[in-house]
Chains A and B, each alone.
Chain A
Amino acid sequence: MSEQNTYLPYLMTIEKVIKEAPGVKTYRLKFQDEAEAEAFEFKAGQFGEYSAFGEGESTFCIASSPTRKGYIECTFRDTGRVTSGLASLEEGSTMGFRGPYGNVFPMEEWKGKNLLFIAGGIALPPMRCVIWNALDLRENFKDITIIYGAKTVNDLVYKSELKEWSDRPDVKMVTTVDPGGENADWKGEIGFVPTIVEKVAPSAENTIAIVCGPPIMIKFTFPVLEKLGFKDDQIYTTLENRMKCGVGKCGRCNVGKLYICKDGPVFSKEELNLIPAEEY
């Protein structure tokens, strides 16, 4: 068999478009080629390069769970040339996908532990993949707590799923919006994510904390977790540096001697301590 061209994307059909929040959409993608669909496998935490033909490629995580077969989902915000190109596509149209790339959340190692998910804004998608993965294999884990915050009520993504999670008896769900971001019907918390984490004060005992969000949120959440007794090997996050190739060659996501696209995007805080913080 001749050598594969890494840069040649899979062709995907947009099966479903969900408007999540202003400028934020989720696409459900199906492989156009059945053999490719059959052979495709990924794990929670991995990402891909999504193509809008005519505009280019953009990097986002796979937001659906590997336990849900037959499709993948991505959630993105319309911010640049590629994402606006993607956002203008309709159900039934074709886009490209390369992947899966990067490392995975060590879900096998987490069996029998409590899981604490802390997410902010548009960083819920990478975590959604893990959350559904965990919920679909619910018996593998003990308590599951989700703390999710966004700027305003409008900016919360996966609104129907947030409800589904909070309705489940086996999940503790806390949603919050930044002060001033609430509306008249808001019943959740009001406050920045780190503050709410401190308030909810989950136990560090036998718990893994997965933190995803803007750098500023992560920066202020880590000390809170530390105060709650979390050790560095109990805290996980994902990094999102600028990427072009996704396979450790183009040089953009090089941090220290690591490539975020190959050695990440998933890092435990213990691993993060080994690479220079100013470079991510």
Chain B
Amino acid sequence: METKYISQSGIEQWFDAIVTSGKRVFAPVNSRGQVDFKPVKKLSEVADEYIQTTQSIKASVYPKAEVLFSYEKVNGKVNLTDFDPESVPETVLWKVHPCDAAGFKPLSAIFNWDTTDKLHNAHLAKTSVISFSCSAADESCFCTSVNGSPGNTAGSDIQLTMLPDGGAIVEILSPKGEALVALSPSVFVADKGEKKEKYLVDLPVRFNLEEVNAKLNKAFNSTVWKEQSERCLGCGACAFVCPTCACFDIQEDAHGSKGRRIRCWDACGFALFTLHTSGHNPREHQSQRWRQRILHKFFYMPERLSVVGCTGCGRCSRACPVDMNILEHITSIAKQ
């Protein structure tokens, strides 16, 4: 790891160099009253004043809908065409929040814990993450409570900490990061000795993760699930904006003799998610589905995959139409 300084004009130059290199660049853009990651060509397109994008960057390594393989039936035989990792373009994610970058670890843990996932790994291999540490947060943010921080570098290839002069402290964290620096090496100068911590938002820890874990270990039959979930509408908004939710569905897109098998996002909050063909549904009530969501993230994943399934980005709380506030709910479980 190496730390450098980059000036405001240096950032512009570097950004242009990345775009010119032919890589696809995704950055937060403010449009339609929402800030979300979109393909950009100019630094001026990138949004400035916002706390959090509506959606996470999950889609860049786990698309909403993706072709697993395609097939064609010819004279009673079937020809398969495998997913081609080369079809994935080199992508740079610009101005990612640390909580989003940290989401790659739990996401990959799910996709690769036993068999590996060719598609996810192909996207991951072609994706470089340039994160910006956070100088601001809102009441939904709680990264510091889930092993993260506004300056967390996990999952980032480069992290920028913006300075008052418009320049930034640059932490180069991986070979991919070095390769990005190499696109415009002259704009990176010696570190000025500024302390990064000075420019990070102060975000108090809101709950003790181990305490929550211990509580959840005994909470399966608690009444808390019903109490908390009564107003839950059972939509998938929380799961779809989440940087770590990975539940998916496999579907068929058939057109006559040709077709493709598609993997698309799904959510454990949907009523029919676990419905058996026989009509039996193991998670029949919303309270059971809410319990699954919380236990999966805060208990099963730590137990199974040694990583907590939440990065504290707060998106689910912001997206929920009925204010199912995860921070509030987890804090209340911790206090039980």
Contact = CB atoms under 8 A, between A and B. Distances in A.
A119 B113 CA distance: 34
Interface in B240-271: 246-252, 254, 259, 261, 263, 266, 268
B303 interface: yes
B78 to A, nearest CB: 4
Contact of B247 (A2, A214, A251): A251
Among B110, B116, B247, B252: residue with most chain A CB under 10 A:
B252
Contacts of A7: 68-69, 250, 261, 263
Interface residues of A, number: 45
Among A80, A92, A241: residue with most chain B CB under 10 A:
A241
Given A11-B80, A279-B288, A55 B300 contact: no
A208 to B, nearest CB: 27
A61 B184 CA distance: 56
B80 A242 contact: no
A244 B85 CA distance: 23
State the majority secondary structure of interface residues on B. Answer: mixed
Contacts of A169: none
A238 to B, nearest CB: 14
Interface stretch (B37-45, B175-183, B273-281, B320-328): B273-281
A6 B69 contact: no
Contact of B76 (A55, A92, A255): A92
A93 interface: yes
B69 A249 contact: no
A251 B248 contact: yes
Contacts of B111: 249
B121 interface: yes
Contacts of A262: 114
A249 B274 contact: no
Contact of B250 (A2, A4, A57, A254): A57
Given A2-B85, A252-B274, A53 B69 contact: no
A180 interface: no
B282 to A, nearest CB: 5
Contacts of A254: 268, 292, 296, 300
A250 B266 contact: yes
Contact of A6 (B71, B110, B118, B282): B118
Given A251-B247, A252-B273, A278-B282, A53 B71 contact: yes
A245 B273 contact: no
User: Which size class do B's interface residues fall under?
Assistant: 35 or more
B251 to A, nearest CB: 7
B213 to A, nearest CB: 12
A249 B251 contact: no
A54 B70 CA distance: 10
A94 B77 contact: yes
Contact of B118 (A4, A9, A79, A279): A4
Contacts of B336: none
B50 interface: no
A94 B78 contact: yes
Given A56-B250, A251-B247, A252-B273, A8 B283 contact: no
A179 interface: no
A247 interface: yes
Nearest to A57: B250
A57 to B, nearest CB: 6
A54 B263 contact: no
Contacts of B117: 6, 249
A215 B263 CA distance: 30
A100 interface: no
Contacts of A11: 78, 80
Contacts of B292: 254
B57 interface: no
A26 to B, nearest CB: 18
B265 to A, nearest CB: 11
B276 to A, nearest CB: 5
Contact of B282 (A2, A93, A241, A249): A241
Given A5-B118, A252-B273, A257-B300, A56 B251 contact: yes
Contact of A255 (B113, B249, B282): B282
Contacts of A276: 220
A257 B268 contact: no
A22 interface: no
Interface string B145-183: 000000000000000000000000000000000000000
Contact of A241 (B80, B115, B274, B300): B274
A3 B116 contact: yes
A256 B300 contact: yes
A57 B118 CA distance: 19
Interface in B68-126: 68-69, 71, 73, 76-78, 80, 82-83, 85, 110-111, 113-119, 121
